[in-house]
Amino acid sequence: MQVLRVNYTDPDAAQQFTESLKNTGFAVLYNHPIPQVLIEDIYSEWQEFFKSQAKNNYRFHRESQDGFFPQSVSETAKGYDFKDIKEYFQYYPWGQYPDFLSDKTKLLYEQLSMMAKTLLDWVQNSLPTNIADKLSMPLPKMIEHTPQTMLRILHYPPLTGAEPKGAVRAAAHGDINLLTLLVGSTASGLQVQDAKGLWHDVPCDKECIAVNIGDMLELCTQNYYHSTLHRVVNPSDENCSRLSMPLFMHPRSEVRLSPELTAGEFLKQRLEELGVA
């Protein structure tokens, strides 16, 4: 399996990007427009947030899914017995936000959302006519004025040795949404599964953005684009914490993904499966 590293500024970037998505479910972008200093500043702020007991003042709302999710209520991937070894904060522009943090996270959300629209344009233009014609609307229109897109700030703490046998930082799963944009994490660990069931490291350093297909894109393109299983493995050498920030690009709830399901109905089903709704 070869996940392509694509220069975002190349004339044929769209073709390389969609080719990698089609073949592996992932693509890695470099020379992208998000300032690295912004990403590093945001990681520093959230590292302090997760160290602080103040995080418990922003506990998530079950109905709206915004706010802080402690490890005790972390997701349990479908088919797994143990919760992931992680805690996280889900940021929406309309939702909770720690009042002692700067607005840099909000800026990152806006910049990644603009970039995601460009990437969905690339995907839309790559679709065969018989697939594109059956969409309820073009992919970029599905996300116009959406309140559902979410930036998740993830913290994987160092392992204590008391974790249940078989528990991992993030068990194998597919994402729910259309596309996920993941800025470079503070440590390695992300892997993708190939068609033979083998696992491969995703070649994404801190200056890159990894992009992967979500289950909603697979559904609305009638499996033309496949959502690929991925995971975050436990550290094998330095037992340090890991921070990552994926933007989950969601359609509006009323958007129809298939004749049977709207995006809102699909999301509700999946959150119930994960045990967080």
Residue-wise pLDDT for 72-112, tens only, equals: 887 787 777 788 999 999 999 999 999 999 999 999 999 99
Q: Domains in the chain, start-ordered, CATH in brackets? A: 5-274 (2.60.120.330)
Which residue, 32, 41, 79, is CA-closest to 182? 32
Distance CA 14, CA 32 (A): 13
Q: Average pLDDT, whole number, for the chain? A: 94
CB 244 within 8 A of CB 154: yes
Distance CA 163, CA 166 (A): 8
Cβ neighbour number for residue 223 with a 10 Å cutoff? 9
Structure tokens at 110: 């806006």
Distance of CA 27 to the CA centre of its chain: 13
Beta strands at 5-7 and 209-213: parallel, antiparallel or unpaired: unpaired
What local confidence, expressed as pLDDT, does residue 222 receive? 96
What local confidence, expressed as pLDDT, does residue 153 receive? 98
Q: What percent of the chain has pLDDT over 90?
A: 79
What local confidence, expressed as pLDDT, does residue 277 receive? 64
Q: Helices (DSSP H) in 104-262: which residue ranges?
A: 104-126, 129-132, 139-142, 215-220
What local confidence, expressed as pLDDT, does residue 237 receive? 76
CB 157 within 8 A of CB 85: yes
Of 65-69, 208-212, 271-275, which gets the smallest average pLDDT? 271-275
Distance CA 78, CA 2 (A): 26
Distance CA 119, CA 113 (A): 10
Cβ within 8 Å of residue 163, ≥6 positions away: 85
Mean pLDDT across the stretch 150-162? 93
Per-residue pLDDT tens for 232-277?
Answer: 998 877 788 999 999 999 999 999 999 999 999 999 999 888 777 6
What local confidence, expressed as pLDDT, does residue 77 receive? 77
CB 264 within 8 A of CB 196: no
Mean pLDDT across the stretch 5-15? 97
**pLDDT score of 205 more than 90:** no
CB 101 within 8 A of CB 49: yes
Of 8-12, 133-137, 186-190, which gets the smallest average pLDDT? 186-190
Going across the sheet that includes 242-249, the strands are 5-7, 26-30, 209-213, 179-183, 242-249, 150-156, 87-91, 67-69
Beta strands at 170-173 and 150-156: parallel, antiparallel or unpaired: unpaired
Per-residue pLDDT tens for 158-180?
Answer: 998 888 888 899 989 999 999 99
The pLDDT-based confidence of 195 (bands split at 50, 70, 90) is: confident
Distance CA 85, CA 78 (A): 15
**pLDDT score of 57 more than 80:** yes
Identity of the residue numbered 109: Y
